[in-house]
Structure 1
Amino acid sequence: MKTTSAKTALPWGMALALILLAVLVLMPLVFILMESVKPDGRWNPLAPLNVIAQSDLSAVFVNSLLLGFWVVLGASLLALPMAFLTAKTELSRHRWLDVVLIIPFMTPPYIGSMGWMLFMERRGFLEQLLPSSEALTPYFFSLAGMVAIMSLHLYPFLYLILRNAMRRIGAGYEEAGAVYGGGFAYRFRRILMPLLLGSYAMGALLVFVKTIAEFGTPATFGRKIGYYVLTSEIHRFTSSWPIDFGKATALASVLLTTCLLFWYIQNVISRRYDYQTVGGKGARLVLMPLKGWKRALAWLYILLLLGASIGIPYFSVIVASLQKLRGDGLSAGNFTLAHYSKLLEPGSPGLDALLNSLWLALAAATIAMLIGLFLSLQIKRANRLGERLTDIFSLLPNTVPGIVTVVGLILLWNAPWMPVPLYNTYGMVVLTYVVLFLPYSVQYVKAAYGQIDGSLASASRVCGGTPWYTVRRVVLPLLVPGMLAGWMMTFTISIRELVASLLILPPSMKVSATYIFSQFEQGEVSMGMAMAVVSVGLTTVVLAIMNHLGADGK
């Protein structure tokens, strides 16, 4: 009987997948590079560097690198002690810490930044609670304050990497050092730290890339203190008159090249300092007891960290949304729910923006889930080259800064020869969300597909099932948890996306993120913060519902 190998089946599917990824992901980046190296119609590979060197934009590039360096340092100082406490001490039994520590990373950075600004500004909440803190305000509204805000947002990313790496290091390594007389500080410096170097390098470089690619905090806090970086300047050149796509693409190509370079460095370092710490005998984990002042100091550090990264931003946002008059501060009787009523009033701009966010996120999440399902199926069926190409291209939006991808999409879909008039329409917004967050759907579905034993499909074929029947009745039901998880992540992030919405939305349309941004910039802080509370609360409810439906795989 003639059989067809799964690795060579449906070649048209792989061709369609590569064409789809080329149009959605690769061509926008190619357009940016082409535009940046041909500013006056002539080919010049050094044109982006010339544009930056011949203007004050070189300072912007240096600002981005400095910000990335300081945020890596700040995130490291926050994450390393926390990772040690939850991996090597008896505090690891408190599993709720792992959940709570993810909240800062899941909070939109522009909302966290606004919360800190409301707390630390003149006559802000800190001064109202502690009038003697007035002297701290000038010091906070500086580069140091910006670094602190971004470090508090990104440290959970580094924390998770370090915590997992520490848990894989068994107690035998440290005990061997203790047998030869090494104290705690010596064992930490000469045994634990070298074994963590590969994981730390990976996490630190990822934090660096995410920092220089971040838009929310530079657009809010950075603009207030006059500290401009690549992302904020790209936005200015593409959204403020006079529009200058030449400088925007030059900055975008430099930012893209820098991020890809650091991704490569991260891969090299990870391979160079990759140590095997888990053997066939397993790893014995001994938890360090914390007694007396050590236990009190550990909990004090945890409470201060949670207060700074979660408590202060959310306190400021919630209180600001409830205030009648900002000038009356925290006085009794100055709180009301009227802003929420006005926000959710039928026909109000706030409710229209929220509904726009909902249907755009629903459409983007559904389309991304279907495309992710198709791509994941092709990855598993492809030969090695097709699998690697599809995998790389589908994950590329997660590597490239979001603002770079958005500028590339504008150049591509606004081209004069483009037969589909998609630019400046709602469809363009959905397409942008799909491209930006496609990697989540692909990764979740691919992970679910990898857990399906091939014997299930073989059993279906033995019983006479056609390939389509096998996919529909065997494979797809088992992929539902991964599909729901990918849908959930895309929906959650789409509904809060700021930079794409600012650059892509039609002029008469607002979504929740742009509504928050515009209200905060125009001084209508209470309305903006009410929208922030509603948006965060809504996404939390969606996450809970999807987890209940099985997105957690249970």
Structure 2
Amino acid sequence: MQSSLFKNYAWLGMGLALVLLGMLVLAPLLIVFGTSLYTDQKLDLLAPLQIIRQSELSEVLFNSIWLGLCVIAATTVLAFPLAWVMAKTPLRRHKWLDIVLLIPFMTPPYIGSMGWMLFMQTNGYMEQFIPASSALTPAFFSFGGMVAIMSLHLFPFLYLLLRNALLQIGGSMEEAAAVHGGGFLYRLRRIVLPLLLSSYVMGSLLIFVKTIAEFGTPATFGRKIGFYVMTSEIHKYISSWPIDFGKATSLASVLLAACLVMWYIQSTISSRYSYRLVGGKGAIKQTATMSRWGWALCWMYIGVLLIASIGIPYFSIITASLLKLRGVGLAWDNLTLQHYVDLLTPGSASLEALLNSFGLSIVASTIAVVLGTWFALTVQRSRTPGQKLVDLFSLLPNTVPGIVIVVGLILLWNAKWMPIPLYNTYGMVVLTYVILFLPYTVQYVKASYGQIDPMLLQAGQVFGGRRLYVLRRILLPLLLPGMLAGWMMTFTIANRELVASLLVLPPSMKTSATYIFAQFEQGEVSMGMAMAVITVGITTVLLLAMNVFSSQQKVE
């Protein structure tokens, strides 16, 4: 018999949750679609495509699709050999590599691209180390360089999917093929690759969605090389004069439709084309033997990846934050900590931006935890249609591009009929953060709730505990780790959010992300990079603290 603390009020709570999610999440997306489809006082389902074609934005659409496909190819080249090495060779015992390899994925894309630009630009750090490398600068500042930067940011995502799938493939399958005369290439082609297909297709589609929805790298590197995609053009039509909501919503609706289609394909493939690789007898984990040359080659490959994805961007960012004069270049007497002192000086615009980020993130994280916990308790184990709808709507912001949601929120809260004047206020920023990052709290709290035995709640009721007592003394303490993890994750990501901050911040207000972006664009690179170091350092410490806390909870 299913136990529920809110059994008598389940339908009321579910109805309120659906209404609230409909207003916060679904309504902005519907307004984007409606604005793009309803033109000249009539409904036209092909209006977005016609506007894109007539406005010569078809090249932008093609650029986004081509960029997504190229990033898929590049991440495959980077991730597949690494996944095989970390799953099928003795190097898999080095678990610390999995944590280190997550650093590129957790680094804000716009900060990583800024680091690469500083390293590879004319008279950049690369040329200062190796003057002859100046011949590589034009080749890097091209479409290929943009693909490389985005691939180095996203390859850890595909790597983890492929590595986990390879670990599930039992060595007995490959041994059976080897006994019957199958060589390495035959086993790879007829056993390993077919079993990996579902995970690879799922990962590739997610990489495609993340690529076409990315704003940071196109806004920095893409603008530098004159390569424009849908996200950068949406931002231009919303933030630059003359403002054109028609073109912005047309691009946003096409981008949203493409992402939703990809998510549907991904869910279909993952549900239909999956294999049971774990049996009751357990799997034999086959470890390949390697020669000294094999060891050297694997470590060399991992080292090159770590240098390219972590070493170069962070070296450039930290070095730029320490330089007195950029024109002097790398020299010990040209290093200083003065930029950090200026940045943290009381009353400075930089410190105000940092404090704004902290304040907005704290408020948004707290609200997101309260709403996320409510939605997670409403969803419970998603057994009824109503619970499944709440679950779907609460996770929707994590499946669609953030810039599309932001455009919808602007249209919704800036409408003349809206009775609450929230647009162009601090409250609008907080609301945007809450909606964008609500799924993280819901997921963490759901995971904690799923580990609770219903008998604990039943026992509290059997011994006379009222609903509020059982909620306060049993359920909430057990949910607290998930709530704290969701709060910290929301705070971390909101603290460095760029696209939402650029579009919804009041004119006189800055956050750390917009400060970094503005300083880099205006040539004050050292101050911007000092802010980047502080921001990334704070978020890294919080993530490490969250991991330590989670590990302690598992041990207990």
Interval of TM-score (by shorter of Structure 1 and Structure 2) = over 0.9
Mapping for residues 85-484 of structure 1, pairs under 5 Å: 85-380=85-380, 384-484=384-484
Change in 2 beyond 3 A, CA 1:549/1:264: closer
Residue 9 of structure 1 contacts residue 381 of structure 1 at CA under 8 Å; is this kept in 2? no
Between 182-191 and 488-497, report the one with greater CA deviation.
Answer: 182-191
Which runs of 5 or more residues in structure 2 are unaligned? none
The one-character-per-residue Cα deviations of 1:400-429 (angstroms, maximum 9, x if unpaired) are: 100000000001111111111110000000
Residue 8 of structure 1 contacts residue 383 of structure 1 at CA under 8 Å; is this kept in 2? no
Task: Determine helix, strand or coil for the equivalent of 2:227.
Answer: coil
CA distance in 2 between partners of 1:279 and 1:15 (Å): 41
Residue 484 of structure 1 contacts residue 550 of structure 1 at CA under 8 Å; is this kept in 2? no
Residue identity opposite 1:62 in structure 2:
F
The one-character-per-residue Cα deviations of 1:434-481 (angstroms, maximum 9, x if unpaired) are: 000000000000010000001101111111111111111111101111
Residue identity opposite 2:39 in structure 1:
P
Residue 84 of structure 2 contacts residue 163 of structure 2 at CA under 8 Å; is this kept in 1? yes
Matched, 1:15 2:15: yes
User: How far 1:382 moved relative to its partner?
Assistant: 7.0
Residue identity opposite 1:335 in structure 2:
L
Residue 513 of structure 2 corresponds to 513
Task: Determine helix, strand or coil for the equivalent of 1:288.
Answer: coil
CA distance in 2 between partners of 1:432 and 1:234 (Å): 17
The one-character-per-residue Cα deviations of 1:346-372 (angstroms, maximum 9, x if unpaired) are: 000100000000010111111101100
CA distance in 2 between partners of 1:398 and 1:382 (Å): 18
Between 4-13 and 222-231, report the one with greater CA deviation.
Answer: 4-13
The one-character-per-residue Cα deviations of 1:144-184 (angstroms, maximum 9, x if unpaired) are: 00000000000011011111111111101110110111111
CA distance in 1 between partners of 2:111 and 2:408 (Å): 26
Residue 67 of structure 1 contacts residue 147 of structure 1 at CA under 8 Å; is this kept in 2? yes
Change in 2 beyond 3 A, CA 1:7/1:461: closer
Residue 119 of structure 2 contacts residue 312 of structure 2 at CA under 8 Å; is this kept in 1? yes
CA distance in 2 between partners of 1:398 and 1:384 (Å): 22
The one-character-per-residue Cα deviations of 1:245-272 (angstroms, maximum 9, x if unpaired) are: 0100000000000111111111222233
CA distance in 2 between partners of 1:465 and 1:327 (Å): 71
User: How far 1:189 moved relative to its partner?
Assistant: 1.5
Residue 36 of structure 1 corresponds to 36
Matched, 1:54 2:54: yes
Residue 119 of structure 1 contacts residue 126 of structure 1 at CA under 8 Å; is this kept in 2? yes
Task: Determine helix, strand or coil for the equivalent of 1:533.
Answer: helix
CA distance in 1 between partners of 2:126 and 2:223 (Å): 22
CA distance in 1 between partners of 2:443 and 2:549 (Å): 19
CA distance in 2 between partners of 1:4 and 1:339 (Å): 56
User: How far 1:550 moved relative to its partner?
Assistant: 4.9
CA distance in 1 between partners of 2:440 and 2:407 (Å): 21
User: How far 1:52 moved relative to its partner?
Assistant: 0.6
CA distance in 2 between partners of 1:70 and 1:552 (Å): 41
User: How far 1:41 moved relative to its partner?
Assistant: 2.5
Residue identity opposite 2:407 in structure 1:
V
CA distance in 1 between partners of 2:340 and 2:198 (Å): 48
Tell me the C-alpha RMSD between the 2 structures: 1.4
Residue identity opposite 2:356 in structure 1:
N
User: How far 1:87 moved relative to its partner?
Assistant: 0.9
Between 459-468 and 496-505, report the one with greater CA deviation.
Answer: 459-468
Residue identity opposite 1:428 in structure 2:
M
CA distance in 1 between partners of 2:104 and 2:111 (Å): 10
Change in 2 beyond 3 A, CA 1:283/1:549: closer
CA distance in 2 between partners of 1:437 and 1:26 (Å): 15
Change in 2 beyond 3 A, CA 1:77/1:548: closer
Residue 532 of structure 1 corresponds to 532
Residue 496 of structure 1 corresponds to 496
Which runs of 5 or more residues in structure 1 are unaligned? none
Between 465-474 and 134-143, report the one with greater CA deviation.
Answer: 465-474
CA distance in 2 between partners of 1:350 and 1:510 (Å): 9
CA distance in 2 between partners of 1:431 and 1:40 (Å): 31
Residue 481 of structure 1 contacts residue 552 of structure 1 at CA under 8 Å; is this kept in 2? no
Task: Determine helix, strand or coil for the equivalent of 1:325.
Answer: coil
Residue identity opposite 1:122 in structure 2:
T
Change in 2 beyond 3 A, CA 1:163/1:214: same
Between 8-17 and 541-550, report the one with greater CA deviation.
Answer: 541-550
Q: TM-score, normalised by structure 2?
A: 0.97
CA distance in 1 between partners of 2:506 and 2:166 (Å): 48
The one-character-per-residue Cα deviations of 1:112-158 (angstroms, maximum 9, x if unpaired) are: 00000000000000000011111000000000000000000000110
Residue identity opposite 1:506 in structure 2:
P
CA distance in 1 between partners of 2:89 and 2:63 (Å): 39
Q: TM-score, normalised by structure 1?
A: 0.98
Residue 8 of structure 1 contacts residue 382 of structure 1 at CA under 8 Å; is this kept in 2? no
Change in 2 beyond 3 A, CA 1:223/1:282: same
CA distance in 2 between partners of 1:257 and 1:462 (Å): 50
The one-character-per-residue Cα deviations of 1:61-110 (angstroms, maximum 9, x if unpaired) are: 00000000000011111111111111111101000001000000000000
Between 140-149 and 263-272, report the one with greater CA deviation.
Answer: 263-272
CA distance in 2 between partners of 1:10 and 1:265 (Å): 33
User: How far 1:7 moved relative to its partner?
Assistant: 6.2
Residue 78 of structure 1 corresponds to 78
Counting aligned pairs with the same residue, the percent is 65
User: How far 1:547 moved relative to its partner?
Assistant: 4.2
User: How far 1:276 moved relative to its partner?
Assistant: 1.1
Residue 482 of structure 1 contacts residue 551 of structure 1 at CA under 8 Å; is this kept in 2? no
Residue 445 of structure 1 contacts residue 486 of structure 1 at CA under 8 Å; is this kept in 2? yes
Residue 68 of structure 1 corresponds to 68
CA distance in 2 between partners of 1:77 and 1:512 (Å): 34
Residue 485 of structure 1 contacts residue 551 of structure 1 at CA under 8 Å; is this kept in 2? no
CA distance in 1 between partners of 2:269 and 2:304 (Å): 33
Residue 69 of structure 1 contacts residue 208 of structure 1 at CA under 8 Å; is this kept in 2? yes
CA distance in 2 between partners of 1:292 and 1:4 (Å): 60
Residue 114 of structure 1 contacts residue 220 of structure 1 at CA under 8 Å; is this kept in 2? yes
Residue 115 of structure 2 contacts residue 313 of structure 2 at CA under 8 Å; is this kept in 1? yes
CA distance in 2 between partners of 1:104 and 1:466 (Å): 48
CA distance in 2 between partners of 1:8 and 1:294 (Å): 64
Residue 5 of structure 2 contacts residue 471 of structure 2 at CA under 8 Å; is this kept in 1? no
Between 271-280 and 175-184, report the one with greater CA deviation.
Answer: 271-280
Residue identity opposite 2:486 in structure 1:
G
User: How far 1:43 moved relative to its partner?
Assistant: 1.3
Task: Determine helix, strand or coil for the equivalent of 1:10.
Answer: helix
